[in-house]
Structure 1
Amino acid sequence: MSGRSGPFWDAVEGHSPMPRGAATLGWEFIDADVEYGTIRLAFNAGEDFTNPSGNVLGAFLAAMLYDTVGPTLLATLQPDQFQSTMELKASFLRPVRPGRLFANGRVVHRVGDIAYLEASLFDADDAVIATAGATARVNPLDGAGSAV
């Protein structure tokens, strides 16, 4: 993704630390197509993320979906822009055991500073385990690099 800059790309390229929440989820950048507004990520769902039956808690799956839709939009923004998620709706389709999970995100529609985003989580067998739709607002960054 050479040639891109801004807080998102700085973290992806190792020029700034990964956000703590992303690190907790085992967030891993795989690929993005900025022109088409898509992203491919991976997460590491650890044993600490499980319920008493050994399945990954839906709250962690929702966090992974949240940490997919945000970066999906962030990857397309200018260096002086950031995003704020306004709402997220998650659907859990099947239980999943700990391990490496994959996520696809896409910008479905953007008008001005409002974007509609979608994300899907997959297990190692490429079965869809959860999906989400989200609405986000594009915000300018202040001089310190944080969203206003």
Structure 2
Amino acid sequence: MSGRSGPFWDGVAGRAPMPRAAATLGLEFLGVDNESGTIELAFTATEDFTNPMGNVLGAFLAAMLYDTVGPALLATLAPDQFQSTLELNTRFLRPVRPGRIIGKGRVVHRVGDIAFLEATLSTPDGLAIATAAATARVIPLDSAPASA
């Protein structure tokens, strides 16, 4: 992993700062397999993420899913490539309280510059919380928007 470079790998290796949105979600890299296009992350949902019932708001879960599918694809790309998410479809399976949430993502299929991605969020003991399917386009890094 340390021999790779580019925005994704520089972040994983600590050579570049974590994006602010990812830091807000408490993102932590647990494992990456760029050959198989899979990634495992952890997030820390704080009390600030909760709705009036004390459960983590679905929008934060969707953001965690977004930050899981994107890196699954990024791990497979060349240093001069980035990804742009075209769509993200989420399914919320059960409520969850603040704490550690595990994200697992994978590249399901890629044809040219289009990739189909999946992600699951679960509790540390493996209970599924939410899932997502996404479509993304691989783009040259020099055309990636500054906010990506």
TM-score normalised by length of structure 2: 0.96
Deviation at 1:81, TM superposition (A): 0.2
Please name the residue that 1:83 is paired with.
83
In structure 2, how many angstroms separate the alpha carbons of the residues matched to 1:56 and 1:141?
Answer: 33
Q: Which residue of 2 aligns with 1:134?
A: 134
Please report how far the alpha carbon of residue 126 of structure 1 lies from its aligned counterpart in structure 2 after TM superposition.
1.0
Alignment of 1:1-148 (within 5 A): 1-142=1-142, 147=144
1:37-96 per-position Cα deviation (integer Å, ceiling 9, x unaligned): 100000000000000110000000000000000001001100000000000000000000
Number of residues paired by the alignment?
145
Contact 2:84 2:139 in 1 (8 A): yes
Q: Gaps (5+ residues) in structure 1? A: none
Give the Å deviation of 1:138: 0.2
- Indicate the percent of aligned positions where both proteins have the same amino acid: 75
Query: For residue 126 of structure 2, what is the amino acid of its counterpart?
Result: D
**TM-score normalised per structure 1:** 0.96
Partners in 2 of 1:14 and 1:35 — Cα distance? 21
Unaligned stretches of 5+ in structure 2? Answer: none
- The residue identity in structure 2 corresponding to 1:147 is A
